[in-house]
Copies of this chain bind each other. A is one copy, B any other.
């Protein structure tokens, strides 16, 4: 259905959706985040390919949107997790920016507000689920409630521990209702993170992206890795699997997520919706108008 150029087929030795999918054996601490698993091209290759594959993604997204407008309730939910500087914002700008903004439901989850704290942690998440035909994008997500809360002991273990099962049940419900869930964890190496934070301190046009808390969090890297490993161990389900993306090279991580979205859309196997009117009658009405 989607065009596969010879080039794109050649540059991926293994499809992104396959090579990046977490398994029972995935160990976060053993992954080299500077690598580009499955992709044999250069940065220039990846950038050229991103533009080309962006058109494929955009065409598939329009078809999803068209079906949504015609009453199809299916949707995609991209869950983006990753530490500061891992490239979540750039992913939204450069990958989600490739498709029609009308077809995107974007939600960003920060420190819970007072109102949010008065509800179950999934309340704000449910409020932002994508409508039919949409690509929902979560910049952080319900996983913060088993991540930052565990790393910083914000709630006791007996509170966050049951959440893994709750999250699995929640995601099962989403999938059963027709939402294809694509979970992505972006990882950068401590060295690359330092470089990116340094850039934010060296360039006045990047100050706004800098938060002193980011340096504080660097002291908790081992705890974050542990917490992410726990997330993979507990929530990497068949119906909502995780993808672990080495993100030291932005050109790789962006291309990889583009491929994951194309793969998800292709799995929906969409056609253009049929006319819900009589085409010949309407042609005549238009001719007479």
Contacts and interface: CB of A to CB of B under 8 A. Distances in A.
A17 interface: no
A273 B210 CA distance: 11
Interface in A59-85: 66-67, 69-70
Identical subunits present: 2
Interface in A225-281: 272-275, 277, 279
Interface residues of A, number: 42
A111 interface: no
A101 B102 contact: no
A66 B208 CA distance: 6
Contacts of A92: 100-102
Interface stretch (A30-38, A165-173, A211-219): A211-219
Interface in A152-166: none
Interface of A: 66-67, 69-70, 89, 92-93, 96-97, 99-102, 104, 106, 108, 139, 194, 197-198, 201, 204-205, 207-210, 212, 215, 218-219, 272-275, 277, 279, 282-283, 285-286, 289
